[in-house]
Amino acid sequence: MGRKSFRAGTIPYVLMREIGSLIKKIRKWYIQFRAEHEVASFTAPMIAKGETKLSRNTHLGQNCHFNGMQIEGRGKVSIGNNFHSGKDCMIITEMHNHRGEALPYDHTNIRHHVRIGDQVWLGNRVTIIGEVSIGNGAIIQAGAVVVKDIPDLAIAGGSPATVFKMRDRDHYERLLNEKKFT
């Protein structure tokens, strides 16, 4: 009478749940480890989540947060302090040479450099292509394709990305001076 009965499958379910939790922790650690070791330089803290894959030509400032960033190509990427990216973002720094000696392109590639300033926020699925600079405090709307420079404090979106609004400079500078960063 004092004996408890277990439902069939209870132990395997609990075990599988614990194994799944352990796999998630290992994957999270691996993504962070890989991001820290594949960049040219970074200043802690740097947080990498999701499907983040950076390049050896990437230089990061302090307090960069990636929620799924892919950096493709061998061009240099410089990202300033207090950067945040949404999910599924991509920076493409190398292009096929369509002006070369064959069609549609030849065997050579053209490298481009990308500079992203301080306090920049990229929404989900932003793509940055080619030789561009994104200014300090800029916000790039989700789904935007950046193919030309974006000035400081601009809010841009669309394909190709265009500036449609500017941040309030006084508000931005007050928060900057108070060092209110996430």
Point out the residues that are catalytic.
98
Q: Which of 83, 30, 76, 28 is nearest to 55 (CA)?
A: 76
3-state secondary structure labels for all residues of the chain: CCCCCCCCCHHHHHHHHHHHHHHHHHHHHHHHHHHHHHCCEEEEEEEECCCCECCCCEEEEEEEEECCEEEECCCCEEECCCCEECCCEEEECEEECCCCCCCCCCCCEEECCEEECCCCEECCCCEEECCEEECCCCEECCCCEECCCECCCEEEECCCCEEEEECCHHHHHHHHHCCCCC
